[in-house]
Every structure is written in structure tokens, then in C-alpha cells.
Structure 1
Amino acid sequence: MTLPAAEEQARRFARVRLAHRTEMQEDYVELIADLIADGGEARAADLAERLGVTPATVANTLGRLKRDGLIEMRPYRSIFLTAEGAGMAARSKERHGVVVRFLGVLGVPDEIAETDAEGLEHHLSGETLEAMRRFADERDRGISPNGTGAT
């Protein structure tokens, strides 16, 4: 393997490691935003139930989210997103929606598309997401991927 190829491979692996680090943050802030939107509040017990993890796992993760400036919380109170956390949640929800929509255009059933999007949304580049969005938009307008009117 040549040096430039090795550097390129290292860059790709570094990008994947970064996606893995932010994946949990994105899942948590997106769920917190959904809970607040649905019921007016987000509680640690709700997060544990929805994520299928222990309360201790949620407590540890919430501590990291607070340290990273994504949430605010006080004992025996609801969890609130900071402006940075709300922005991350909105971006994550948007990415999720693009992936679900794209998979739906490909004919993937809704339930499977939702499940698959949970992993994909964190690892796709902005360029890939934009291509997926364009493809879905074109299909919605009746334009085939090769630019003709037939789908």
C-alpha cells in the first residue's frame, strides 16, 4: 500500500471512529427532543425505557451530555436541551428523515427503513445524504435517475 493510500485509509477509519463517538449523543438528544415535543418533558426513566437500557446507563450518558454542553438537568427535574443540543437533535432528525425517505423510494418497507436508518444516519457524509435527498426528490417529481421523465 502506498503512503497516500495508507493516509486515505487512515482518514476513512478516523471518520468512522468520529461517527461512532457522536452516534450515542445524537440518538439521545434526538430522543430527548421527541419526548419534549410529545409530552412536554424528558425524564431519565423515559429514556431508559425507550432505549432499552438501564437507568445507570442513562445516568452515565446524561452526565457526558451535560459535560459536553448538550443538555441541562438538575436532580428530580426534567432534562432540557441546550441550544447546541437542540441543533444536534434537529440535524440528526433531518438526516434520519432523508435516509428513511430514500429507503422508502427504493421500496424498503417503512418499519425496516426506520430500523436501518438508525445506523445509517450517523455514518453518511453530507454529500451522500444530499445525493439521497436529490434522488428521492426526483422520484417524487416523476424524474428517473437518468434524467428522463419515466420512472
Structure 2
Amino acid sequence: MPAQPVYVSPNPETTKRGAFTEFFLERQCPEDADPKYKHLFFTHQNLMRMLINDSAMDPNREQTFSTPANSKNKVYFMWDFVTRSFQMLVATVKPRNPSGEAWMDIMMRSMLAQQLILDTTGRLESMNQSVGYNDDAGIEFSAEIKAEAEKLDDLP
């Protein structure tokens, strides 16, 4: 049986979302990491930074990670998804040899994140509404977030 991955994070019960994100933004990518790993590492970090700093996160940023969000909007959802994807990347994928099931999971999550951020049909809003989240009115991803999301599948 393979060893269980080690998910390192601040305490979600006491750490606010802004500080929780900063914890992962301070993480350094190994210098000898594979170029594909580096690409996803830095692109996810950039997206986390942009999403947590988006004005749509203002109602949520100072809440602890485990507190139900004040505004369950699409920026919040994608911040959560991208942050968890980054956690998985650093906990389950070998930087020098990204491969196997864990790497495929990250690749699929990256593709889904890209599709949801760039989607113009209201798919993400519909997904949120289907579970009772109705906070997307007037919320759009910034041009910078969209440009960064476009890079997710631009692997070297």
C-alpha cells in the first residue's frame, strides 16, 4: 500500500482565508522540478493570489477557512477549487517526475478550472444555483484572472 500524501496547511478552524492563501503563496517550487510541474505550480499560485484579492472575496477573506462563506459566489468557488488543487499538487505529485494518477487528477482539475473560469454560458452560475448558492449576480472574473486561467493548459 502506498504511503498517504501529507497535506500541509494552516489550521482551517483558526486561519482566515487571506492568511490561508498566503501560506500557499509563500511555498517555494523546487528548483529542479519538471517544467510541467513548475508551470502548474506557478499558474495555480497566481490564480490563488488573483482570486483571493478579487473584490468578490471581500465578504469572505477575513473569515476562517472552515467558516461557511458569507458570499458563495463563483470567485469564492474557484478560489476554493484552485487552492485545493494546489494543495493536491504539492502533496501528491513528485516535482521531478509528475506522472501517474495524482498527476492526471491535477491535470483534469486544471482543465476544469480553466473551462469554468472562461465559460460564457453560465455553467458555473448554474452549478452554484443547483446547490442553493445565489450570490453570482453582478460578479465576473477579471481579465487578469481569465488570462491566467488560459495558461493552465499551456504546458511546456
TM-score by length of 1: 0.30
| Larger RCO, structure (CA 8 Å, separation 6 or more) | 2
State the structure with more CA Rg.
1
Q: Give the TM-score, by structure 2 length.
A: 0.29
